[in-house]
Amino acid sequence: MCKVSVIVPNYNYERYLSERIDSILNQTYTDFELILLDDASTDGSAALLEKYKDNPHVSHVVINEKNTGNPFRQWMKGIMLARGEWIWIAEADDLCKPTFLETCINQVNANPNVAICYTDSYFIDQNDEDLSYRIIKASKKDVVTFDGKKFVKHYLYWQNAVINASGVLFRREYAVKLKDHPFQTMRFCGDWMFWLEIAMQGDVVNISRKLNYFRQHISQTSKGKDSGQNVVETIKIIKHIESMFPSISASKRLLCYGRLSRYIRHYKNKELKQTLFAFCNKELQTSLAFDYYYYKIHLHFRFLPWVLTDKKDYRKAIISEI
């Protein structure tokens, strides 16, 4: 048995694989197994992965003969193979600092109720250049602990706050409960659904140190937006959270819908924009045109202590700050 199972799901990332795997093998915390998965890559990834099969940390090298067409099915395959108490899904194109695992393990060892521990990330492009994206956070403290259920209700309801799997350690026993969960059928928001289901089972810890490098690919980030499928999946998540927390107020729901409306308004394809507005209005039983201005008014008067905004709501999930 080992403390951590590190899963590297890969598809056509031969260019980044060696550096990625080396960044895992160079961790200061060494009680881990390494599970290497390839989803029928068409480049030289499979041959490269085979070179690591004799490394003492490597427990599995699994090369699919047929592509699954969904990264989240690969996640679950790795989770079911894993023997560790904790799982780290280290995406094949990302990188990490040598102290990532050690820092996370120190936090989860200090709190037996932790379900998810995640760190902050640098955003990099395909050539390792820093993109300097800014993420709105609930706190500026070094370590923040959230009640998991409140984290879902007050944080994940608005957005996927756990932005990248490569920066997350999560408890395996909670993840295996999701082996038949429909998050595996989602294309763009499956991770968001996965995190909220894990968070419902324990505390969530955020370490405000950039220990992960999250690579951005223009083709990937634009694919979901160009088709509108990311909005369709976002609606599923919003409705799922509302079903779990019927106490969410009507005002807060309108604010959430208004925030989504602002996002859709940035679409350049007018026909797709109209289609998405119509879909959202029907699924959420609302008028996004009204919701948008409702949200804007709240932002305008956010200086008033009784006016709710998404950023104010985040803090309601916090248990402690260090």
Query: Residue 223: is its pLDDT beyond 80?
Result: no
User: What is the rounded CA–CA span in Å between residue 62 and residue 52?
Assistant: 12
Q: How far apart are CA 14 and CA 12, in angstroms?
A: 6
Residue 131: band (very low, low, confident or very high) from pLDDT cuts 50, 70, 90? very high
Percent of the chain with pLDDT over 90: 93
35 DSSP β-pair partners: 7, 60
* Residue 22 in this model has a pLDDT that exceeds 80: yes
In tens, the pLDDT along 161-182 reads 999 999 999 999 999 999 999 9
Question: Quick one: average pLDDT of 226-252?
Answer: 96
Is pTM beyond 0.85? Reply is: yes
Does residue 169 contact residue 81 with C-beta atoms inside 8 Å? no
β pairing state of 32-38 and 4-10:
parallel
DSSP letter for each residue of 4-22: EEEEEEESS-HHHHHHHHH
Cα 64 to its chain centre, rounded Å, is: 24
Task: Tell me what the mean pLDDT of segment 9-24 comes to.
Answer: 97
Q: Which domains does the chain carry?
A: 4-220 (3.90.550.10), 230-313 (no CATH)
Amino acid letter, 208: S
Average pLDDT, the chain: 95
